[in-house]
């Protein structure tokens, strides 16, 4: 579904990614793990068109995307839910969700997407007219995920969705991601909660200093001595 080949990126001339290559197959959950500042979020911004690669190629569902603008990439079905939730606080839940369907004019299709979001996140249906600024952090994260789903993604890129959430809410979040995947949506998960992410994913990649240094199934990476020492405190 997504094939990234030898992509590099920089901020103001300072390298952020160096010859990064990875792939995601349809139906998978693939996680990217690494410490702060290693380039995880840069990869999310790269594949979603928010920054340009300085070299390399990216192909999504058979189409080259490295030169496409972000809104065209969304239309193809690659949707990025950024770190930090970024809900529109003065708008209510339903208004936030409808903004996620800005590319769709068919009212029946919009209702279908809303029904899916409300089925996955019943709390959003209960609070559809509540201003999003007044919601808890966990509820706002559910809203951010729901808004991403309203764009009808084939691939959903989630950047640090558990950031700032209490452990019990993190459990709910990871369960929700599993349900999203079971709906047929491929997921690219960028996470600092390494054990939970690796237990959830089909495959994973480890990023250090802007380079991918290791890959494997979730269970293989959990059993890796390198991952245990660097990320699992074992």
- Answer whether 158's CB lies under 8 Å from 81's CB: yes
Mean pLDDT of 72-98: 92
Instruction: Please state the domain count of the chain.
Output: 1
What CATH number does the domain containing 11 carry? Answer: 3.40.50.300
Distance CA(144)–CA(148), nearest Å, equals 6
Q: What is the pLDDT of residue 129?
A: 96
Confidence of residue 147 (pLDDT cuts 50, 70, 90): very high
Residue 49 lies in a domain: yes
Q: What is the pLDDT of residue 35?
A: 86
Residue 20 lies in a domain: yes
Q: Quote the crossing angle between the two packed helices 107-120 and 137-149, to the nearest 10°.
A: 140
Highest mean pLDDT among 187-191, 192-196, 226-230: 187-191
Q: Is the pLDDT of residue 217 over 90?
A: yes
Mean pLDDT of 148-161: 95
Residue 158 lies in a domain: yes
Residue 117 lies in a domain: no
Domain that holds residue 161: 2-87+153-231
Please list the residues that pair with 195 across neighbouring strands: none
58-62, 143-147, 167-171: least confident range: 167-171
Residue 27 lies in a domain: yes
Q: Residues 142, 145, 150, 155: is their CA dihedral positive or negative?
A: negative
Mean pLDDT of 80-85: 86
Q: Is the pLDDT of residue 72 over 90?
A: yes
Q: Is the pLDDT of residue 158 over 90?
A: yes
Q: Is the pLDDT of residue 234 over 70?
A: no
Confidence of residue 145 (pLDDT cuts 50, 70, 90): very high
Q: What is the pLDDT of residue 170?
A: 87
Residue 106 lies in a domain: no
- Answer whether 89's CB lies under 8 Å from 133's CB: yes
Mean pLDDT of 184-199: 94
Q: Give per-residue pLDDT as tens, 202-215.
A: 999 999 999 999 99
Residue 166 lies in a domain: yes
- Report pTM: 0.92
Mean pLDDT computed over every residue of the chain: 93
Q: What is the pLDDT of residue 190?
A: 95
- Answer whether 72's CB lies under 8 Å from 97's CB: no
């Amino acid at each position: 579904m997504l094939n990234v080949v030898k992509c590099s990126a920089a901020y103001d001339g300072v390298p952020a990614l160096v010859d990064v290559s990875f792939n995601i197959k349809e139906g998978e959950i693939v996680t990217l793990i690494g410490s702060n500042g290693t380039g995880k979020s840069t990869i999310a911004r790269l594949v979603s068109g928010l920054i340009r690669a300085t070299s390399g190629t990216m192909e999504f569902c058979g189409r080259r995307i490295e030169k496409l603008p972000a809104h065209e990439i969304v239309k193809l079905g690659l949707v990025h839910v950024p770190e930090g939730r970024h809900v529109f606080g003065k708008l209510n839940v339903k208004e936030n969700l409808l903004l996620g369907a800005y590319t769709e004019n068919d009212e029946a299709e919009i209702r279908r997407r809303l029904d899916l979001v409300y089925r996955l996140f019943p709390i959003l249906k209960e609070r559809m007219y509540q201003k999003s600024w007044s919601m808890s952090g966990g509820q706002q994260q559910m809203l951010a995920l729901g808004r991403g789903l309203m764009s009808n993604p084939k691939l959903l890129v989630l950047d640090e969705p558990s950031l700032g959430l209490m452990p019990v809410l993190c459990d709910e979040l990871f369960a929700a991601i599993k349900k999203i995947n079971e709906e047929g949506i491929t997921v690219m998960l960028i996470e600092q909660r390494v054990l939970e992410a690796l237990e959830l994913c089909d495959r994973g990649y480890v990023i250090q200093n802007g380079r991918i240094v290791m890959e494997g199934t979730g269970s293989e990476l959990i059993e890796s001595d390198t991952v245990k020492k660097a990320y699992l405190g074992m």
